[in-house]
Structure 1
């Protein structure tokens, strides 16, 4: 973990498991934050792009045949067919322990309630000369959701992507997710797919799954929108197919930034940082604090909580490479640094979190106070957990119902409205040198201009 405090020298503090770096000032903090933002760019991305381009080309040209080859190569099993039957999903639900069933249903209820409030309203407006103007929303017909596999299973991702899709009114929702070497999907993932009414589930993952959804194959329908997080290959594939289909965002490795003052509890900060780092070796956990004692004691507390941790190596790599501690003189400076980074998840472990939140402009989600840890948002808070990463919270927000919808403008001018506005249209068209635009107005009226 790299530690930045306001001192006049750089020190390397030895640690039993974590390397802790001390830097000298806030400018150095900004530099370290930028390194974290850019951690997946450069050579790693350039190499991945070549792989993704080849995969997408093959899937586009060869369909299911290419999918079978990539599934065998990357996932380790030969697939005769990719689709999971609805009977298997129902079986997975029935065999889910009662406490877990109740937890999934509670999460579904809370997420559905929040997203139902997002459904955009159609607009109708009557202009000053009787013209009718409006905007009408409609869902896309088919949506594809990607649910990661690999290091962990994510039924929460099923809920967070499928629920806004059906709330939007999407006719068909298709899920893809990488299977294990036996060709099996996690049963809790299948149970979540069952209760959210997903129409079809396919056991494919990686860039090839994104290609299948974007182009369509013999067995997998082409969709209109693709959502859901994934590794660098999935993210780059979504970037490549954008324009042929809509996407939610280009989600990078996950991140949390915690702003803490003297009221924050050491064990809360450490556990919340580890809750982020256990996702992925590229995940980032950052503390910006006014509490010098907290900054100094945090590395040892993280080490203590890592004892016998089931995801020890992932956490160590994440914290050592992409963890960061910054000590600031005041909360105003903390907030400014946070806005510079624009975190995916922002926790405010301070005495007045709501007040501090008002000064924050750039964050995917803000968790206020000690009883709102980021894990609440991951599972059942209500707002979506698919959030902008790598600084994109400067211009983007969470996945929502609107992601699965599109709007159409409605223009209905009366003759009176046309006559009142025709001269202005002609002048504007002439200023752009577009003769036929102006002529399309003139031809509707016998008067000369």
Structure 2
């Protein structure tokens, strides 16, 4: 066990040390403000305060972990070997940067509480982030910093048996619309027919009625393909179905239709199932509560977690609602149009509510790749290379890769050509 001495034990301090030491590195950690207890400890130990006590491993503490509320922080990002960091520490410190304060800033999503420009859907964008502006969005910097800290511990305690973490994958299949044409009902089918006709989309019109008449498979019906992949994969897939009411933003099948319910049950026999919250449920806990209840009635068990429509997170309200409804995990932390690490990490972490200064039980599972982000790469080779670089960056820190694909991604639409190839690269990648 690692014992950390500090002058003041705060919720922020405990939260970030447990994230780095226990969740990323697998090292148990405890804390003390008593010098005598620290001296008597005969295993891993370090001090995190303003001045070293003696010759122990010492990291000079930034004040961020001992503050409350939000401050106007002056952050200067500097190069550090193969990566970047901020909050420099000085000569006496074992690390040139306070990686603990920097980690807290990133995984608490401190910057998302500060004033920023939102996009048309009200989302925090990659361009507003510290990582994008300082060109480290493509690195899991929190995990890289953690392993630099581990190297310091290993140098000072060569006889300690450090646990090994392993790279893993949690593939996400997002289902905003279960079928393109099937089960839409008479009025929506007629409306779609007129739209296709008057916009001269005659190929789509032909396809619509070929599906409705049962001559062709619906282009969004790729479930057999994905389930067959699940049967041969060592990773457990997570499906998120939208069960919200029809609206301007959400246009899925009516959740009461028996064939849609059967589809969800069938998928649940092989994969984990969660709720894709509707656009209006993001700001209305009563709507979210109803959608959660709908899903649990269908699958007859607790949902694995949630994922928000349009990958939208409004901090802290979005996550407070999930905490209140006891939803265990959320898979919305990432960017729609950029590959990379929104929270600077590829290790799941608990949501820390900065307004209340409390760690919550909600586990945030950040995603690093949404299928839409690959569309900016024009050739298959460019897509493959970008994906392989991302996978390698996660493997180097034994992290968790969370790719998000939609059911229609695996269809025959030319826009999504070769995306099955990308999915295969992810599923078939070796752990090392």
TM-score (norm: length of structure 1): 0.27
The answer to which structure has the higher helix fraction is: 1
The structure with the larger Rg is: 1
